[in-house]
Amino acid sequence: MQTIENSQIQEKIYTQKLSNGIKLIIIPKKTQKKYIIWGIKYGSIDHRFKVNEKEIQVPDGIAHYMEHKLFEQENGTNSLDVLSSLGVNANAYTTNNHTAYLFEDNNNKFFEALDEFMNYVQNPYFTVENVEKERGIIEQEIMMYDDYPDWKVYMNAIKAMYHNNPINIDVAGTKETIAEITKDKLYETYHAFYTPDNMAIVVCGDFEPEQVIQEIEKRMTLKNTNQTVKRLYEEEPEQIVKKREEAKMNISMPLFMIGYKDEITCENQIKKDLALDILFNILIGDSSELYQSLYEEGLLQSEPTFIYENSKTYSHILIQGQSEKYDQVIQKIETGIETLKKNGIQDDVFDRIKKKLYGEYVKSYNDVGAVATSFIQNYFREINPLDYFEEFKNLDKSYTMQILNDVFKPEKQVVSIVKSK
């Protein structure tokens, strides 16, 4: 067992490679809540891959479909129902690059719930009948997201940026692609990716590390395999697909999203994350001059949302907001970016925002769910979240200006609008 300490926030993290190779991360916290998240490095973009040199293509949406189906057990029970009956809050989610299963316990039922939790993740039960039964449920979910304005404005921005990268495909797939999912394809995909070397488990709460290791080991049945799996991705051009995409929906207030397609390579990803956070706060955060001006003019009612997504195959930033006069707001944001490039960042503004963000990072460690989720997401990015606190020391105005000029390029910008019918 290895120990990682951070004296700045007085956190101690324990890591252990289990006997089958799974990485276990334990974050002790003196709190009533206990939280576990089991992550698999398999997401919606992994639809083409090789297993021992055999090339396989699976239907879009299969990662999300599998997340739904794992809860169904051979004895006729649903693991979500079993966990709920114990009083724990269980859930799962699928993203572009990973899938996760989790639960939170407030009733001292953690190890009792762990029996069901570890059983269903390790023992898939797919049949012709239960796979077919799920199809209608997921079709309804796809239709629901099609009617969700925030999802529409996001997906249209992604499609305007990416030509071939499968990030431009809905995580849940389409009605046509999920019609191709069978129990055999689910088993084939499960055995390709649900392997110890492709997983990590994070536990956060009031635990003794040795006890957690022992309890998880004795419930672990997954074995190592000798297979080699290689993900296959389509080549993606640097340029965007189109400058603008618009849609009409039944909404009261139009949505806008400004996106910038970014370069994938980065020498120091943590430092770049922090620089982009600072830039967003300086540009259009709730304390910025631009936001105050837009708010007073009635052009914005709330602070826009900032999203930065990146992996080894894609990278982009997104700014989303609501406004009746969205083109006016977009133009003012664009002007604000170019003005900041020209005039630079004021020292006092940079220092104030940097201190503010540092405080928010420290505060986030009080939430066991947020901490555990951050560790699982960053594990698959090959990042230790504790390193963010060290990088705060190294982050300066010069580097932040470099990121501003490198990322916010007009020729890499897209605009997505969802307006009222």
Rounded CA-CA distance 79/74 in Å is 11
Q: For the chain, state the CA radius of gyration.
A: 23
Active site residue 67: yes
Rounded to the nearest angstrom, the gap between the alpha carbon of residue 255 and the centroid of all alpha carbons in its chain is 22
Secondary structure letter of residue 78 according to DSSP: B
- Residue 134: both structure tokens together: 């799920």
Residues 6+ apart with CB under 8 A from 184: none
Amino acid in the structure at residue 323 = S
Q: Using DSSP, state whether 101 is helix, strand or coil.
A: strand
The H or E element that residue 204 is part of is strand 199-205
E strands present in 134-180: none
The catalytically annotated residue of 11, 53, 67, 360 is 67
Identify which of 57, 119, 59, 117 has the alpha carbon closest to the alpha carbon of residue 92: 117
In which residue are the tokens 């059983």 written?
119
Query: Cα separation of 421 and 201, whole Å?
Result: 46
Tokens matching residue 393: 């020391």
Rounded to an integer, what distance in angstroms lies between the CA atom of residue 120 and that of residue 138?
A: 20
CA distance 165 to 154: 15
Active site residues: 67
